[in-house]
A and B are shown apart, each in its own frame.
Chain A
């Protein structure tokens, strides 16, 4: 992996870890009652949340409130905002699409 990939990967990981920590501490219990299946954008510097029906709508609405914000996207009640059909082995997909 190049240094750019490593840096961007670390950046993604840092935002994700901060966002998930904030979500668990402040929002998870209430949101899983009220917004199950919806998408939540956590702005990690102000620790605020914006909820919408799609990932795109949550991100756009959150950016409107915090134009310079740093966001982590979550799907309420799911382990991640997105699911993938394949599994990884040693950091690589277990098969190639092509």
Chain B
């Protein structure tokens, strides 16, 4: 359990150094990743970055909707993101002509971290810290309803 310091890019986005590899292991590379709370996924990376770590797309696709409503199809794979000695695995989306590595809200949820950000720096800290902060303000952080992990095969 640890906290991790990042920094703010020249355009004002929170950046964190992470390493990425396939779930099966193999090549691992360090990338500067943006933590984008407007992105609902786990990890988005350009194809050229996926190739660097031998991340092979699964026979699976999805799409994201950008702020202007445009839908962008992408291939899916499973990847492991490491920050320091902590590792989190999840679904990575591969963008054909993407520009950077992006971590989203699903990454924060799975890693149990909270993003603290100001115009001078950023940090990923343990969720317990948020609970402590909430106590200071006299209210308990309301957890969302736990999402079911059970899958339903509809049998159609």
Give A62 Cβ to nearest chain B Cβ, in Å: 8
Contact of B100 with A97 in the complex, beta carbons under 8 Å: yes
**Hey, which chain B residues are within 8 Å of A11, CB to CB?**
61, 75
Nearest opposing residue in chain A for B9, CB measure = A98
Binding stretch for chain A, among B38-46, B112-120, B122-130: B38-46
The answer, among A5, A12, A52, for a CB contact under 8 Å with B148, is: A52
Q: Which of B64-99 contact A (CB under 8 A)?
A: 64-76, 78, 90-91, 93-94, 96-99
Contact of B65 with A84 in the complex, beta carbons under 8 Å: yes
Contact of A98 with B32 in the complex, beta carbons under 8 Å: yes
Contact of A80 with B60 in the complex, beta carbons under 8 Å: no
Give A13 to B154 CA distance when docked, in angstroms. Answer: 25
Contact of A88 with B66 in the complex, beta carbons under 8 Å: yes
B24: CB under 8 A from chain A? no
B143: CB under 8 A from chain A? no
Give A61 to B149 CA distance when docked, in angstroms. Answer: 10
Contact of B97 with A83 in the complex, beta carbons under 8 Å: no
B47: CB under 8 A from chain A? yes
Contact of A15 with B60 in the complex, beta carbons under 8 Å: yes
Chain A interface size band reads 35 or more
Task: Identify whether the interface residues of B are mostly helix, strand, loop, or mixed.
Answer: loop
**Hey, which chain B residues are within 8 Å of A92, CB to CB?**
97, 99
Give the number of A-B contacts (CB < 8 Å).
185
Give A71 to B59 CA distance when docked, in angstroms. Answer: 6
**Hey, which chain B residues are within 8 Å of A54, CB to CB?**
106, 147, 149
**Hey, which chain A residues are within 8 Å of B68, CB to CB?**
87-88
**Hey, which chain B residues are within 8 Å of A97, CB to CB?**
9, 11, 13, 34, 36, 99-100, 102
With A27-B154, A87-B70 in contact, is A16–B62 under 8 Å at CB? Answer: yes
The answer, among A1, A59, A84, A95, for a CB contact under 8 Å with B76, is: A59
30 contacts between A and B (CB under 8 A): A12-B75, A15-B73, A35-B152, A47-B156, A49-B153, A49-B156, A50-B152, A52-B151, A56-B42, A56-B78, A57-B150, A58-B151, A70-B60, A80-B63, A81-B41, A82-B39, A82-B62, A82-B65, A83-B64, A84-B38, A85-B38, A86-B66, A87-B66, A88-B72, A91-B97, A97-B99, A97-B100, A97-B102, A98-B10, A98-B32
